[in-house]
Structure 1
């Protein structure tokens, strides 16, 4: 595949750059198609992305909908067939500004003003469309073989919410139709696994704009899952010596000024509330509250480590475009804990956290993950607390511990918390990009800010080190992960309904009710399907819609033999057994989390 660079020379495209060039060129072709259909359109940015491309466009009073995408795509196909050559030429700054002004491209003019004085300003042209760009691009439009427009969204100019909201037109592009078909298959699989769709169909959670965007509400079945996860992780922590607390969902602005979050994290927090002369904010995280709990009394070195845990409600003002069901909301509950340790205890406590993560992942059969040592960017003087000595000490300490524990990890610059480096465990879900599920952060900063102390063996006062750690991350996100991994077919111990009792007819209703009551008395989540439907329909509904692990079919034969016919969701096989045998089987599977 030949491409044209911004100095005008043509060459074979390096294999690793092919997709980016295809997608960047597709953005230009899409912009040309939009300009033909909507002559008053003005263009902002149109980059290639990981899977495709997008362009942020000012369409004035025109409001595009998904129904408009086929027409734009058809116009792109026409441009491809016209086989227009991509031409490139540079212009001096004043001529570049005039060209864009003459074409009404106000955003390009503003972009030119942001460029360094010595910047080379180049333009690519195909047919009647001209765009300011550094390239490279295809040599002819016909080289774009496989593309599709996918969605519309909104985007602020320069990603600043104080600027105008533009229309973002999204698409994908690949080398050939086979790659595009494979992508579309992945998209269909993603739709089938989308936790938002499954959550709605199974009645797990809901959202309503009247309550507020990004503020999900858990329905009874969803809250059952939520509660199982909460009890599961709390029990594990209690066995490891954690002490659980409950703290308020608000704090004063002064609390977050002390911690440093007000300076480093304010844009992600809800606005302050003024009450009786004090400023309060909804808390975005729990560490300041836990610091104050530690500071509540004097501690000896003998008290440490102190492990404070909380299933805590937190609030962050996420941009509306980033919200995604319960995976990313403005309210969520963290499986949070803060471990106050001596420097000598860091290794053992990090080791304990890592072992807990491994144990949890084993219980949930999570195998596709990687460990990342997230470090600060020394050049970023805004995001990170400025203390080179502290950072060097913290990063070296965490790196050394991970090596001693023989943990395979990669290092990523610029991903640390503002107060310290961290170990992030990133999972690769069944759909979408990887994200962090568990984390363990090493902090020398906040204990000093809050003037935390313990009395050491020699009677001197020392500052403890704090480990911030979350195993399930947020329970909300972990639940979204489980939904998408299992397609809603949860393991027995987590399933909101573990057994569905299905009477064949009214004649078997009384016996079915007694079976249901016996299961409930034993702590098994059972439901009786009393609907006047045929048994085949009840079985399909329980298996496909409710995704229940076990279905009990109750007919005249079962009544006569005092048994139940157990249909297994996993194997679709039916086995006859006594109720006592069934309960023993279920208890074993629940206890062993099979």
Structure 2
């Protein structure tokens, strides 16, 4: 069937767009003019950027697609780096990859990148964009790259570490295991304005970057290659979008996210803190935060028991040998704290619970009749996260996991994974997260040395997860190379109230660890068989989950999770005793209630309760007392007067039981 296509192009010698109409089933969109900026297919506009792939092949990519935005942002990162070096010739280049919603570039630079300085850099970037400098790809040998990059020590290091350097965050945009390429920014007179070691791809020229739709956003410190032993660089962050409206929408999302920042709200609501004397990444929960944590733990403990799990408990440290048996050492050594020497015996703070659960399994003989056997605990584990990546509750060193391990026969594995996935999704919905998709993390077949197990093991496990995921009807996004070293996994990616995605629960198919621990069960035919082990964490991390919930609800929790569910505010001191009696009735019904008997004036008491985001404020004056009633003031500011006490108690307890948001 013919397709109607309208192409908008910009000729190299003109900045004015012109339209070319055609009807075709297979048109070469480019011909001699590669400056296509938009295309309409059957009347629907398709904005394009172009990817320079192998050689000079040009492939159209929608600029609004994830791939198109990544190309646009990577190109903008180059423009930012060019602008910095134009302004500071002594600046040394690190790496500059695209990231979610933006890009960054690292520099060794003596002068601090202040907010005022960012404005100067932005102005210089606009000038580069207006010049419409072409991105020209050039293949170089290792020796040529070394000779050309003598003044760039960090680039030289990447060349010398080619292949292995890809393990560095962001380094994949610079070098891989194959040929090296440099992208030159070339002016209209064919003179080279600037160049950078880079694998690409990029837009054809800087004019593709909308000068009204990019911004430099902030700076931070960053160690070269993520190692604290290396030089500290300045990281310049920015963002780029297809249109000015897209940029403004992004800024609006950032403003809303700032209002919801769980670190800020945690202090305002007196939930938790991060004392320097305890250490980075080690939060403490205050009484009100402790209420939320306890409610979550009580809920998930009860749900696990209902789902057939057996509660267990394990210590916080163990002999180092345990983690060699499990395979975590050396595969996960960087994520664990250094060993503790006890009279020549080395111990480790546990970074995971699974090895200890395996010891419980093999403490006695097991029969196939016991399977699937499900162990569960709230186990606090410790991860040696680098200080630079720690962030409030969402990236910590002390992690409380609602960790479970199911031991089953290979035939039971699909049903057990389906059971776990249904459990996970129902749990997230109870906490108000109901917009999610699944991510299936598999082995990187090009790096098999980083994974344990045979090809057959991986194919079987991956297919089981893939099939179960498909049966949910949810979107399944592939994540090649994201598997744990011992098996593939599926993770639930939940979207919060403002559309951000958070990785929550995980389910991992492990065909390896049970063998390493020589776990066995007696099969129906009397033979000794090794079980399949399935790891699952429903919250993932309680600390992180709380941080996500604080931001999702902007601190205004549903009634059942609110630290204080009711604040009683007397109109005058003479009504204190009356509201104390009402509060006592609520407490007997299991409601968390406080009575504000402070010396503050009535309006201030109402404002205080509002700032604390309390779901219900109960007010009483003479009219209420005479009627044996209270007046409601809800969190949204609405009111209901003269509610009999028994009805008030019933309304509040029902909202708690139904887990509603008011």
Same fold (TM over 0.5): yes
Task: Determine the structure 1 residue equivalent to 2:118.
Answer: 69
Q: Distance in 2 between matches of 1:22 and 1:198?
A: 35
The TM-score, its normalising length taken from structure 2, stands at 0.82
Kindly report which structure 2 residues correspond to 1:427-576, keeping only aligned pairs within 5 A, or say none. Answer: 427-431=494-498, 433-543=500-610, 545-570=611-636, 572-576=638-642
Cα 1:390/1:62, change in 2 over 3 Å: same
SS at match of 1:493: helix
Q: Distance in 2 between matches of 1:85 and 1:392?
A: 47
The yes-or-no answer on 1:340 pairing with 2:407 is: yes
Task: Determine the structure 1 residue equivalent to 2:321.
Answer: 254
Task: Determine the structure 1 residue equivalent to 2:156.
Answer: 109
Cα 1:443/1:27, change in 2 over 3 Å: closer
* Maintained 8 Å contact 1:25/1:138: no
Task: Determine the structure 2 residue equivalent to 1:580.
Answer: 646
The yes-or-no answer on 1:305 pairing with 2:305 is: no
* TM-aligned CA deviation for residue 167 of structure 1: 1.1
Report the number of matched residues.
589
* Maintained 8 Å contact 2:260/2:554: yes
Q: Distance in 1 between matches of 2:617 and 2:416?
A: 44
The yes-or-no answer on 1:50 pairing with 2:100 is: yes
The yes-or-no answer on 1:26 pairing with 2:76 is: yes
Asked which structure has the greater RCO (Cα within 8 Å, sep 6+), the reply is: 1
Q: Distance in 1 between matches of 2:335 and 2:519?
A: 26
What do the CA deviations read for 1:478-508 (whole angstroms, capped 9, x no partner)?
2122212111111111110000111112222
* TM-aligned CA deviation for residue 150 of structure 1: 0.9
Task: Determine the structure 2 residue equivalent to 1:294.
Answer: 361
* TM-aligned CA deviation for residue 451 of structure 1: 0.9
SS at match of 1:395: helix
What do the CA deviations read for 1:167-214 (whole angstroms, capped 9, x no partner)?
111111223322221111111111122222211211111112332111
* Maintained 8 Å contact 2:438/2:469: no
What do the CA deviations read for 1:67-114 (whole angstroms, capped 9, x no partner)?
543343344345556x3644748586566544443xx32223334444
Kindly report which structure 2 residues correspond to 1:362-377, keeping only aligned pairs within 5 A, or say none. Answer: 362-377=429-444
* Maintained 8 Å contact 2:126/2:211: no
Q: Say which is worse superposed, 416-425 or 330-339, in terms of deviation.
A: 416-425
The yes-or-no answer on 1:124 pairing with 2:190 is: no
Task: Determine the structure 2 residue equivalent to 1:355.
Answer: 422
The yes-or-no answer on 1:423 pairing with 2:423 is: no
* Maintained 8 Å contact 1:431/1:484: no
Cα 1:382/1:65, change in 2 over 3 Å: farther
SS at match of 1:382: helix
Kindly report which structure 2 residues correspond to 1:176-255, keeping only aligned pairs within 5 A, or say none. Answer: 176-255=243-322
Q: Distance in 2 between matches of 1:89 and 1:492?
A: 58
Q: Say which is worse superposed, 238-247 or 252-261, in terms of deviation.
A: 238-247
Q: Distance in 2 between matches of 1:7 and 1:339?
A: 47
Q: Say which is worse superposed, 330-339 or 208-217, in terms of deviation.
A: 208-217
CA RMSD of superposed structures (Å): 3.0
Q: Say which is worse superposed, 340-349 or 136-145, in terms of deviation.
A: 136-145
Structure 2: runs of 5+ lacking an equivalent: 1-9, 11-34, 36-49, 163-174
Cα 1:405/1:498, change in 2 over 3 Å: closer
Structure 1: runs of 5+ lacking an equivalent: none
* TM-aligned CA deviation for residue 311 of structure 1: 0.8
* TM-aligned CA deviation for residue 337 of structure 1: 0.8
Q: Distance in 1 between matches of 2:416 and 2:135?
A: 61
* Maintained 8 Å contact 2:135/2:183: no
What do the CA deviations read for 1:235-281 (whole angstroms, capped 9, x no partner)?
11112232111111112211000000112211111111212111111
